[in-house]
Amino acid sequence: EDKVVQSPLSLVVHEGDTVTLNCSYEVTNFRSLLWYKQEKKAPTFLFMLTSSGIEKKSGRLSSILDKKELFSILNITATQTGDSAVYLCAVEAGAQKLVFGQGTRLTINP
């Protein structure tokens, strides 16, 4: 059975801290790994990773994939209260079929 596991499930930090969110996976037909941010309603897309070792960056957020060890990390530097959200990791296991992890609930305190 395809499985995606995220850790930690919950994280509370102070504004300005740097955080690292983890995602490990076991799927039979890996195609890509995606990160989403979910605030109040629908998840919104952050990154898609397909190759090992290539860092994707968007402002203070960055992510990297390790296909040998089957994991990815999402880093957020100089966190702000607006970064508070649930961060979801998903793996494309087969044509356009995404399997999601449980999510990491990140809370940034001022």
Partner 1 sequence: DAGVIQSPRHEVTEMGQEVTLRCKPISGHNSLFWYRQTMMRGLELLIYFNNNVPIDDSGMPEDRFSAKMPNASFSTLKIQPSEPRDSAVYFCASSSRTNEKLFFGSGTQLSVL
- Binding-site ranges for partner 1 (CB under 8 A): 31-32, 34, 41-45, 48, 88, 90, 92, 94-103
Nearer to partner 1, 3 or 60 (CB): 3
Shortest Cβ distance from residue 85 to partner 1 (Å)? 14
Nearer to partner 1, 17 or 86 (CB): 86
Shortest Cβ distance from residue 91 to partner 1 (Å)? 12
Q: Which residues pair with 71 in a beta bridge?
A: 24, 66
Instruction: Quote the Cα angle for 84-21-98, to 5°.
Output: 95
Shortest Cβ distance from residue 78 to partner 1 (Å)? 26
Tell me if 50 sits within 8 A of 60, measured CB to CB. no
Instruction: State the DSSP code for 54.
Output: P
